[in-house]
Structure formats: C-alpha cells, structure tokens
C-alpha cells in the first residue's frame, strides 16, 4: 500500500465510525483500536517526513480532480511538521486516557469516537489546501470539542460547552461569510489559486475579508477578546481533553491564522496587527492567570498567554522569528501537556481544583509533583529545558528588528509567569501538609505518558539539534509563498507574487 497524506484523514475517521461495531466484538477493543490507529499515523508521519525532507512538498490530489478544481492535501515541511507533532501528542494523550478515571465501557466508547474525530479534524485543518474544506474540518473539530467539553455529567461541563458552542457558532458564521466574499472576488476555493488571484482584489475588499477571517479564527486560536470560552472549557472538560485543546485544537487555530495571513493575503499591516493582538493577548492572559485560584484555570490562561507569544513571533515575520514561533508551538504542546496531565492528578480530589489545598503534596505525590515542577521550570523558559530555546530565538529575532519594547514585554511577562508557577511549586514542596487529603494514584498509562513528555523536554533542552532541522525547513516552507503555489499549481503565473517579509 502506498503511504499518502490522505491516510491522516481517512484512517481515524473510518476507525471512529467502526468503533461501535468493534465494541460489540470485544469491550477492550474500543480502547486499543485508537492507539493502533494513532501508531499507524505515526508510521505514516515518519515515512512522509523523510520523503518531504528529501524531495520537497507532497501534494495529494483527491478523487482524481486536479487542483484548482478538486480538493488537495498539501504536505509541506511546515504542515507535515505540525501534523506529525499532533500525531505524537495524540499518542501520548491516548496513553494518558487509556484507563483514565471512571471511563467504563460505554463512555469510553463515546470518548474515543470523539477523540478520533478531533484528531481527524485538527490534522485535516493543517493538511488541506482548499478553503472550504478547511471550514469543514474546523467544524468537525469544533463539534467534537463541544461534545468532549460536556463529557462529564456531574460538572458544569454543559455550561462551558454551551458557551464554547455559542462563540464557536459565531466563529463559523464569520468564516463562512469570509469564504463567500472571497469566492465572489476570486472565483475559486483553492488556497494556492486564491493566493495567485489575490493581487487583483481591491484593497478594501481584502481588508474586509481578512478581518472576518481573523475574527473567526481568532476564536479558535484564543486571541484576546475572543477567548472567553477557553478557561471554562479547559477547567470543565476531562483532563485529557484539556491537553487535547492545548496540543491540537489551539495549534490548528493558530495554523489557520498564519496560513491565511502568510499565504492567502498580501495585506500590509497584517503582521503588525498580529504583533499588537499577540501582545494584548499575552498581557491580559498572564494578568488573569496570576489571579486564578483554580489550577486548571491558571493553566488555561497561561496557555492563552503562550499563544500570544506565538502570535507576536509570527508577526515579526523574519525567518528567525518564524523559526522561534514554530519551536514554541512544539514546546507549548509538550510542556503544557505535561503540566495539564500532572496538574490534574494534583488537584484530583481538592475542592474546586483550587491551588491553596496543594500544600505539602511534594512529599505525598513525589513523582507527579516532580513532573509538574519540571513543566513549570520548562514553560517559564529556564535553561536547560526545552522552553528556553524557543524563547531565546524569539528574543533574538526581536532584537534583530530593533523591537526593544517587545523584548521588555516578553521578559517582563515572564516574571509574572514565574511568580504564579512558583507559587504552586513552592506550595507543593514548602507548604505545611494538611491532613485528610486523599491521593489519587496515577494509572500506568498516565505515568508512561508523562515520562515520555518529560524525556522530550529534557532531550530537546540539552540537544535542540534533534528537532531544529525540521523546524528550519518548516519555517522556510511557510515563508516561501511562491514555492507553495508552484507545488500545488505547477503552471501558475508567479510574476505577481511577492513575499511581504
């Protein structure tokens, strides 16, 4: 069988719909099959990434309709890197949720079906080369996210999910109108052809469409005024789902923003807009995080803040800054994954998941506390952990562009970050242990998952060279718009294409 990018979408989608039948054969199959599917996707990632690094972008035409008529999947070093990262994180999340909590046979079936749909949707968003197909995958992701947020009946999940759904429906309405206006202007839905024809669209129209897209995608990417759903969804959803939001859903949203600004549009000022919105997002989120009493809400706000830094770095737009941004996306997925996984065991039995009850847990749950502390050290960017390198590259890129204010901002906010993370870590190790708290023993799958993430943080921290070649290629692929268009439409006229940065 030939390995192709379409397996990323077809296999998990097929598995999701076969799961009810498999559950009839044997109950345990509902838990095992998702793991096998994700392992297969991991194999696909390895094969395709080697192919892409050697021969360049792979374009998969679906159902024999060539671009620009049919739907195509673009597996470039950038999209491939993101898809592989999502697959790896999906595997870790599967390990973590294998025996998580009270998932007995029936909910486990529902949980894993929705999880497979979520994986399909997020990877689909990243790989597709068609703007309407992009919208469809966004909706697949959104609908499974709503359902997973409301997974537990005994929490306020339904309320968080309804809030998320309300905001998400606005997002999809905005994106639909944007696609509609775009179609009236360029008469095509293929992203590469839109990029070619964008030159002839009047500027006021371009800006209208761009703003509609930015509002719609800003909601998924947790951009500042549009991220009201995130803290509630993160805190009410089951913990593995919180990890999925941080590692997959938000990454897909940011990818959408970046693809639309970098490839589709050539509007001056969009990059500055990203910097300003990123900075506001960063400051507001970190200031909110320091006031949180609940650990999960704190982690959610911290996650929003990190996305702000990613947006700033993409907004700077030089090769080095984009490199730093993609590196930070990777680091954030891994580190925030570890923080959510360990943090949710720490607050497992505390009322309202509040931080103040965590005193002295460092001695009672040594392994989990160690994982949490490692994550906290890594995410604030202390050497020699993974988070240090991405922050360093972003700061160097800002310095090269004489953006001293941004450097001051990022470093100043880092202090806030250190304060609220070390408030928790300090309480874990130096707080007075309270009596009567019940410890939750983590599952074996959970321990393996957290160990894997901790190993990745340490390995990338000490030897960043294991991952940097892939990220360098990803940054080059994202910035080279002409190459993207050429690989999809070999005969396109590239004379009008200019890279703004």
Partner 1 sequence: MDTIDYYQIMSIGVYGSAIGLILIGLYAVLMKKHLTKIVIGLSIIDAGINLLFIAIGYISNGTAPIYSSQGIDLVKTGTPMVDPVPQALVLTAIVIGFGVTAVALSLVIRLYRHHNTARIDQIKSLKW
Nearer Cβ to partner 1 (160/368): 160
Question: Does the footprint of partner 1 cover residue 287 (CB under 8 A)?
Answer: no
Q: What distances in angstroms separate CA 301 from CA 257, 292, 298, one per listed residue? A: 20, 9, 5
Residue 213 CA, distance from chain mean position: 18
Distance CA 501, CA 100 (A): 46
User: What beta strand segments (E) does 343-446 contain?
Assistant: none
Distance CA 190, CA 405 (A): 39
Distance CA 315, CA 308 (A): 10
Structure tokens at 392: 């360093």
Question: Does the footprint of partner 1 cover residue 136 (CB under 8 A)?
Answer: yes
Distance CA 376, CA 356 (A): 17
Residue 353 CA, distance from chain mean position: 24
Transcribe 50-62 into DSSP letters: HHHHHH--EEEES
Of 6, 35, 110, 162, the one binding partner 1 by CB under 8 A? 162
**Burial class of residue 363 (count of CB atoms within 10 Å of its CB; 0-12, 13-18, 19+):** exposed
Question: Does the footprint of partner 1 cover residue 158 (CB under 8 A)?
Answer: yes
Q: Where are the alpha helices (DSSP H) in 265-365?
A: 270-290, 295-316, 319-346, 361-364
Candidate segments 147-155, 212-220, 402-410, 467-475, binder of partner 1 by CB under 8 A: 147-155
Of 85, 161, 212, 279, the one binding partner 1 by CB under 8 A? 161
Nearer Cβ to partner 1 (6/177): 177
Of 72, 76, 236, 306, the one binding partner 1 by CB under 8 A? 236
Nearer Cβ to partner 1 (183/273): 183
Residue labelled with tokens 């968080």? 160
Residues 51-80 that bind partner 1 (CB under 8 A): none
Q: What distances in angstroms separate CA 13 from CA 18, 146, 220, 274, 461, one per listed residue? A: 9, 18, 22, 34, 35
CB of 156 to partner 1, least distance (A): 4
Of 33, 103, 160, 358, the one binding partner 1 by CB under 8 A? 160
Of 83, 103, 182, 189, the one binding partner 1 by CB under 8 A? 189
CB of 188 to partner 1, least distance (A): 9
Q: 74 in helix, strand or coil?
A: strand
Q: What distances in angstroms separate CA 102 from CA 106, 107, 151, 170, 467, one per listed residue? A: 11, 9, 12, 34, 37
Residue window 81-120: x/- pattern of binding to partner 1, with contact defined by CB under 8 A: ----------------------------------------
CB of 143 to partner 1, least distance (A): 5
Distance CA 214, CA 274 (A): 10
Nearer Cβ to partner 1 (185/281): 185
Of 139, 370, 392, 494, the one binding partner 1 by CB under 8 A? 139
Question: Does the footprint of partner 1 cover residue 494 (CB under 8 A)?
Answer: no
Nearer Cβ to partner 1 (155/472): 155
Question: Does the footprint of partner 1 cover residue 440 (CB under 8 A)?
Answer: no
Nearer Cβ to partner 1 (188/373): 188
Of 103, 165, 201, 355, the one binding partner 1 by CB under 8 A? 165
Candidate segments 177-185, 272-280, 419-427, 451-459, binder of partner 1 by CB under 8 A: 177-185
Nearer Cβ to partner 1 (165/355): 165
Count the neighbouring beta carbons within 10 Å of the beta carbon of residue 470: 21
Candidate segments 154-162, 324-332, 334-342, 395-403, binder of partner 1 by CB under 8 A: 154-162
Nearer Cβ to partner 1 (158/407): 158
Of 55, 153, 204, 268, the one binding partner 1 by CB under 8 A? 153
Q: What is the DSSP letter of 261?
A: I
Count the neighbouring beta carbons within 10 Å of the beta carbon of residue 283: 17
For residue 359, which of 342, 374, 367, 350 has the smallest C-alpha distance?
A: 350
Q: What distances in angstroms separate CA 499 from CA 193, 205, 483, 489, one per listed residue? A: 16, 20, 11, 18
Q: Give first-to-last CA distance, the chain, whole Å.
A: 41
CB of 127 to partner 1, least distance (A): 18
For residue 488, which of 1, 3, 5 has the smallest C-alpha distance?
A: 5
CB of 382 to partner 1, least distance (A): 32
Candidate segments 145-153, 418-426, 476-484, 486-494, binder of partner 1 by CB under 8 A: 145-153
Site residues (vs partner 1, CB under 8 A): 132, 136, 139, 142-143, 146-147, 150, 153, 156, 158-163, 165-166, 169-170, 172-173, 176-177, 179-180, 183-184, 189, 232, 236
């Amino acid at each position: 069988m030939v390995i192709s990018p379409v397996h990323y979408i077809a296999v998990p989608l097929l598995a999701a719909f076969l799961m009810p039948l498999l559950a009839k054969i044997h109950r345990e199959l509902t838990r095992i099959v998702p793991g096998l599917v994700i392992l297969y996707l991991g194999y696909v990632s390895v094969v395709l990434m080697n192919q892409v690094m050697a021969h360049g972008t792979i374009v998969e035409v679906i159902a024999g309709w060539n671009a620009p008529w049919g739907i195509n999947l673009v597996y470039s070093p950038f999209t491939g890197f993101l898809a592989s990262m999502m697959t790896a994180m999906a595997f870790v999340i599967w390990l973590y949720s294998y025996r998580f909590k009270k998932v007995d046979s029936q909910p486990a079936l529902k949980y894993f079906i929705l999880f497979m749909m979520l994986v399909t949707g997020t990877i689909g968003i990243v790989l597709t080369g068609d703007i309407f197909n992009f919208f469809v995958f966004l909706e697949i992701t959104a609908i499974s996210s709503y359902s997973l947020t409301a997974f537990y009946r005994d929490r306020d999940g339904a309320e968080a999910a309804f809030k998320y759904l309300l905001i998400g429906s606005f997002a999809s309405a905005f994106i639909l109108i944007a696609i509609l206006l775009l179609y009236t202007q360029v008469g095509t839905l293929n992203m590469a052809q839109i990029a070619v024809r964008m030159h002839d669209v009047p500027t006021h129209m371009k800006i209208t469409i761009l703003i509609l897209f930015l509002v719609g995608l800003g909601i998924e990417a947790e951009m500042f005024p549009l991220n009201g759903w995130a803290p509630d969804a993160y805190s009410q959803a089951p913990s593995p789902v919180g990890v999925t939001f941080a590692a997959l859903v938000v990454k897909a949203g940011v990818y959408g923003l970046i693809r639309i600004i970098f490839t589709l549009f050539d509007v001056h000022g969009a990059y500055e807009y990203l910097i300003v919105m990123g900075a506001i997002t960063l400051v507001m989120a970190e200031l909110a995080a320091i006031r949180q009493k609940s650990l999960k809400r704190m982690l959610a706000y911290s996650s929003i803040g990190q996305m702000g830094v990613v947006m700033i770095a993409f907004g700077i737009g030089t090769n080095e800054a984009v490199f730093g941004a993609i590196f930070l996306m990777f680091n954030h997925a891994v580190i925030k994954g570890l923080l959510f996984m360990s943090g949710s065991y720490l607050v497992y039995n505390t009322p309202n998941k509040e931080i103040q009850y965590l005193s002295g847990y460092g001695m009672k749950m040594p392994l989990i506390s160690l994982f949490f502390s490692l994550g906290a050290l890594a995410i604030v960017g202390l050497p020699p952990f993974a988070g240090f390198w991405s922050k360093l590259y972003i700061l160097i890129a800002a310095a090269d562009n004489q953006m001293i204010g941004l450097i001051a901002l990022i470093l100043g906010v880092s202090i806030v970050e250190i304060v609220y993370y070390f408030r928790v870590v300090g309480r874990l190790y130096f707080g007075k242990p309270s009596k009567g708290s019940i410890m939750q023993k983590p599952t074996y799958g959970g321990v393996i998952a957290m160990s894997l993430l901790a190993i990745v943080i340490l390995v990338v921290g000490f030897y960043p060279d294991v991952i940097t070649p892939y990220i360098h290629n990803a940054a080059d692929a994202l910035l080279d718009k002409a190459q993207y268009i050429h690989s999809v439409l070999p005969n396109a006229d590239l004379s009008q294409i200019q890279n703004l940065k």
